[in-house]
Amino acid sequence: MNARERIFNQLAGRPVDRIPMLGGWNLGVDNISRIAGIAPEEYARHPFGAVLWANRALHVDGLILGTIVPQPGEDLRNMHLSQSSFDHVEPEAVLEDAGRLPEAEADMLRDYPAAENEAALRDQYRRFVSAIGDMVAIPTHWNSIANFSLYSRYGYEAFLAAVALYPEAVEKLFWQSAIQARQQNIILCRLIREFDLPPVLFCGCDICTGQGPLVSPAFLKERYWPHARYSVEPLLEAGIRLVYHCDGNVMPIIEDIVAAGFSGFQGFQYEFGVDPYKIREYVRDRPSLFFAGLSVSKTLPLGTVEDVRREVEYVMDFSRGGQGLFLFTSNVTSGDVPPENIRTAYAHQESLPPGTMTTTGWREWPWLAAERTRTR
């Protein structure tokens, strides 16, 4: 079975010869070079080629669109948003921006550059699909869902204050982004068919910290999730399954994520109490999809190869022997992850036949169980 057959079969719930594996989120020039079996100097001459060589060495089946190609010195994941950059922004900026928006969707779309956007997206897909050869492109677009992450525009303080002071204005900005995302998704439906890509799309917004949602689930249910659902409706109507990026403790909002149309999840940060056994129960009409679930904060950077093997087996357990499972990292790996741990994860997954399980019931995340033993 080739990579394409394996991915399409897994999405459709048909038999596979092994669990499909995804790549595209590894940092560290030295790490990628070692996995690819080349010198860093050769990486510098062919960075994207080296990333492809490394993923082929891992026997990866699919690469997410927007696969990371690190440059020398880019060894650490840097997603920190500094509030000091927004100290001059007041919550009234949200109110003013919302007030400038039209009241009707047709007016909102009057200047939407549909043809230009479609041409740009088609070119992006053409280049990526051509470059990765026999690996399969996994459609990945963070802006395919209504944008909750307004804190990246206004900073955390102004955004959270606006949620409290001007909830209608915040919702109007959610609505604007949903309309734009919906138009892009109409285009993506055509492109996924045109390039004969897997009927799946990976997206999401960072809504949670380790403690839970940044704002109350009640606010999200009333002001955000209806717009999120509206934004992805064209994909759902086209039969494209949606996978949500689960950062932080998403447990309080899983039901809302599913209600918005998602039947797949990517992550997870188990150390914050995220329980994939519970998550899978929310998707009742079909098996959940899991782009899971190698911990980039604990197991991969800090663990032994045996810790990594146990984590792969844990992922097989919570997915009921690999149902809907695509092995993937929980987030971007840093350059301090031992390459042997990455190799071990993919090799061990490849060695486990579909249906392999160490236990049929709930069990604790192995890292946490081992940590408790280590500290006794």
Q: What is residue 371's predicted lDDT score, i.e. its pLDDT?
A: 85
Rg (the chain; Cα; Å) = 21
DSSP 196-222: T--SEEEE----EETTEESS-HHHIII
Residue spans per domain, the chain: 1-78+263-376
Q: How many residues does the chain have?
A: 376
Q: What is residue 316's predicted lDDT score, i.e. its pLDDT?
A: 98
Q: What is residue 75's predicted lDDT score, i.e. its pLDDT?
A: 66
Residues 138-147: tens digit of each pLDDT: 999 999 999 9
Q: What is residue 72's predicted lDDT score, i.e. its pLDDT?
A: 80
Nearest residue to 163 (alpha-carbon basis) of 91, 102, 253: 91
Cα 132 from Cα 149, distance rounded (Å) = 31
Low-confidence ranges of the chain (pLDDT < 70): 74-80, 375-376
Q: 3-class DSSP state for residue 179? A: helix
Cα 181 from Cα 372, distance rounded (Å) = 44
> Which conformational region is residue 248 in: left (phi greater than 0), alpha (psi within -120 to 50 degrees), or beta?
left
Q: What is residue 29's predicted lDDT score, i.e. its pLDDT?
A: 94
